[in-house]
Amino acid sequence: LKTVALILGDQLNASHSWFQQTDDERLFVLMEIRQETDYCRHHVQKVVGFFAAMRKFASALAEAGHRVLYLTLDNQDNQQSITSNLEAICKTTQACQVQLQQPDEYRLDEQLQHWAETVVDSLNVRVDWFDSEHFITQRSVLQDWFGEQDNYVMEHFYRRVRKQTGYLMNGDKPEGGKWNYDHDNRKTPKSGHDYPTPLLFAHDVSEIHQLLLDSGIDTLGEIDSKQFIWPLSRREAKELLTDFVERLLPNFGDYQDAMVTGQWSLYHSRLSFALNTKMLAPKQVVDAAIQAWQNNPKAISLNQIEGFIRQIIGWREFVRAIYWQFMPNYGERNHLNHKRQLPDFYWNGETQMNCLEKSIRQSLDYAYAHHIQRLMITGNFALLAGCDPDAVDAWYLGIYIDAIEWVELPNTRGMSQYADGGILATKPYVSSGSYIHKMSDYCTDCHYDVKRKTGEGACPFNLLYWHFIDRHFEQLQGNGRMGLILKQWEKRSEEDKKQITQEAEEFLASL
Ligand code: FAD
Ligand code: SF4
């Protein structure tokens, strides 16, 4: 045997050129390891989902005639670390070459780079690196296109990707004449709206779940291990994609920001797990969506398709580029110097704030929340309350099935917590209760009164919003997009200001 080729849990890309031909001299290696289950407290569905998808991927490779070594968590030869396992496998197989795909996480990149440097001499093997053949842009794209800057604007990046790929372009002009139709995408469903039921799978993953329990792995959240709902293979991921473009895409843009009690995924695709494990490629997703739109432009209007394409070729590629441009320091930024612990209710949903209760409960139940729940409910609250971005990051990295650091970190620390000081977002995403009331039905069933700004029963978001503005008044002064709000606060009477900040502080002390 000549070659050992490592496949990480988020490299389940069946279209990769590695798999185009079988080769008896090459052994593909996949491993379930404590290194990955333990670097953060993950949602139980996330760990089970990764292991189950890896197992299916390994079986599919073997069926296609490839040589595969799969180390289960309880295999007695498993040393529970990527590099220790790799080293042992190289020794027993006497391979002279190791093949690695570039990892997407800085942590793993460092580990493997370091190992590759040392192993060349000690084991006398050659290490070759390969692209993961997944993304549309390169890691270094921001540097390549815009040079060294203190901050980058997603919209500029997005337009450049549109031009380069030709997606939604008419020659060199954007389809329909506008680059962005976000303004059309702020609808909330009327009462009596006929909601779509999400396509769910029903895998029996109880064996893997039991393995986690027997191994004493500390997880969070709930699982129905007899009916696991997430796609675990490329075929299922494609099924989910087809269902999305046919049934949900026609309303995707319209209700993208809406939040409705009991409707945990609305018109969202729930493709993030399939994409981030690379069971699906972004190009495949975009092609399917554009095809559906071209086949049926009457049902899928331009604002729906543009809104969706922007998420995939815009935001997703952009946050990855930010990650690689600013790591490793990005993960340590705390621009607003926030230090508060994340309240306990983030782990059990036990709070009288209905919007938080619903969004957190749903995250614990499904390992999923859609973007506006993540940004404007849980993220908004953590930012207003001044929670430590390290704690906020750890929570987001653990709780969602799609959470891998390259995508979680810029979204959390940058977009949601403004801890990067505006590298990624032009202003902090904060709101009082009125935005939540406008975009959701949560307030109608809440212990608090969204209309009350102060006093008994006042919505905590109303108090905390102004407390945040007051706390960071000076820091926010240079930001043109915050100017109006700052003026509003300045105009308030001293008495008003005192009452609000005092009540906000009492609330914070009660957390
Ligand atoms: P849809 O609404 O159907 O969107 C389609 C796809 O677009 C998603 O599957 C995703 O691949 C992509 N996308 C949309 N918005 C973003 C974005 N801001 N960044 C990157 N990709 C995006 N996404 C993750 O994949 N992993 C994370 O760990 C993650 N953490 C987040 C943390 C916070 C605080 C916030 C505000 C957002 C986070 N996101 C993360 C982005 C986004 O919320 C999820 O991608 C989305 O909710 C996944 O659900 P969906 O597949 O139904 O998405
Ligand atoms: Fe959330 Fe305030 Fe509305 Fe209650 S009243 S659901 S706390 S925004």
Do 264 and 126 fall within a single domain?
no
Q: Which residues pair with 99 in a beta bridge?
A: 5, 128
Do 303 and 427 fall within a single domain?
no
Low pLDDT (below 70) residues in the chain: none
Ligand nearest to the CA of 435: 2
Task: Give the end of a domain, one of 130, 154, 173.
Answer: 130
Structure tokens at 240: 């989910």
Do 124 and 184 fall within a single domain?
no
**Beta carbon of 27 within 6 Å of any ligand 1 atom:** no
Ligand nearest to the CA of 256: 1
The string of DSSP codes covering 453-493 is -SSTTB-HHHHHHHHHHHHTHHHHTT-GGGHHHHHHHHHS-
Structure tokens at 34: 């404590």
Do 230 and 112 fall within a single domain?
no
Mutation to probe ligand 1, out of 286, 362, 376, 402 (largest number of atoms < 8 A from CB): 402
The string of DSSP codes covering 258-290 is -BBTTBSSTT----HHHHHTTSS-HHHHHHHHH
Residues 6+ apart with CB under 8 A from 41: 218, 219, 220, 394, 398
Mutation to probe ligand 2, out of 353, 378, 464, 511 (largest number of atoms < 8 A from CB): 353
Do 276 and 404 fall within a single domain?
no
Ligand nearest to the CA of 382: 1
Do 125 and 147 fall within a single domain?
no
Asked, for residue 18, whether it belongs to a domain, the answer is yes
Residue 233 is part of a domain; what is its CATH number?
A: 1.25.40.80
Do 274 and 404 fall within a single domain?
no
pLDDT tens, residue by residue, 340-379: 999 999 999 999 999 999 999 999 999 999 999 999 999 9
Asked, for residue 332, whether it belongs to a domain, the answer is no
Whole-number Å distance, alpha carbon 2 to ligand 1 midpoint, is 40
Please provide the average confidence, as pLDDT, over all residues in the chain: 97
Residue 353 is part of a domain; what is its CATH number?
A: 1.10.579.10
Residues 6+ apart with CB under 8 A from 145: 157, 160
Do 352 and 491 fall within a single domain?
yes
Asked, for residue 337, whether it belongs to a domain, the answer is no
Task: Give the end of a domain, one of 296, 326, 356.
Answer: 326
Asked, for residue 136, whether it belongs to a domain, the answer is no
Q: How many domains does the chain have?
A: 3
Q: Which residues pair with 458 in a beta bridge?
A: 449
Asked, for residue 135, whether it belongs to a domain, the answer is no
Do 121 and 170 fall within a single domain?
no
Q: Which atom of ligand 1 is nearest to the CA of 412?
A: 34
**Beta carbon of 377 within 6 Å of any ligand 2 atom:** no
State the pTM of this model: 0.98
ipTM: 0.99
Give the count of beta carbons closer than 10 Å to the beta carbon of residue 507.
15
Asked, for residue 339, whether it belongs to a domain, the answer is no
Ligand nearest to the CA of 265: 1
Ligand nearest to the CA of 357: 2
Any idea which residue has 């396509």 for tokens? 199
Whether the Cβ atoms of residue 397 and residue 403 lie closer than 8 Å to each other = yes
- Where in the sequence is the domain holding 92, given as residue range(s)? 3-130
pLDDT at 122: 85
Residue 42 is part of a domain; what is its CATH number?
A: 3.40.50.620
**Beta carbon of 461 within 6 Å of any ligand 2 atom:** yes
Whole-number Å distance, alpha carbon 434 to ligand 1 midpoint, is 24
Q: Which atom of ligand 2 is nearest to the CA of 449?
A: 5
pLDDT at 185: 73
Do 300 and 396 fall within a single domain?
no
- The residue contributing the CA closest to ligand 1 atom 2 is 268
Length of the chain: 511
Do 482 and 351 fall within a single domain?
yes
Asked, for residue 68, whether it belongs to a domain, the answer is yes
- The residue contributing the CA closest to ligand 1 atom 30 is 408
Whole-number Å distance, alpha carbon 371 to ligand 1 midpoint, is 6
- The residue contributing the CA closest to ligand 2 atom 1 is 355
pLDDT at 184: 76
Whole-number Å distance, alpha carbon 295 to ligand 2 midpoint, is 42
**CA 197/CA 44 separation, integer angstroms:** 24
Q: What angle do CA 95, 100, 104 make, to 5 degrees?
A: 160
Mutation to probe ligand 2, out of 261, 345, 355 (largest number of atoms < 8 A from CB): 355
Q: Which atom of ligand 2 is nearest to the CA of 459?
A: 2
At 152 the three-state DSSP class reads coil
**CA 278/CA 166 separation, integer angstroms:** 23
Ligand nearest to the CA of 320: 1
Whole-number Å distance, alpha carbon 508 to ligand 2 midpoint, is 16
Q: Shortest CA distance to 124 belongs to which of 98, 100, 96, 83?
A: 96
Do 55 and 125 fall within a single domain?
yes
Mutation to probe ligand 2, out of 261, 431, 459, 463 (largest number of atoms < 8 A from CB): 459
**Beta carbon of 48 within 6 Å of any ligand 1 atom:** no
Mutation to probe ligand 1, out of 272, 342, 384 (largest number of atoms < 8 A from CB): 272
Task: Give the end of a domain, one of 265, 298, 326.
Answer: 326
Q: Which atom of ligand 1 is nearest to the CA of 265?
A: 52
Asked, for residue 334, whether it belongs to a domain, the answer is no
**Beta carbon of 46 within 6 Å of any ligand 1 atom:** no
293: left (phi over 0), alpha (psi -120 to 50) or beta: alpha
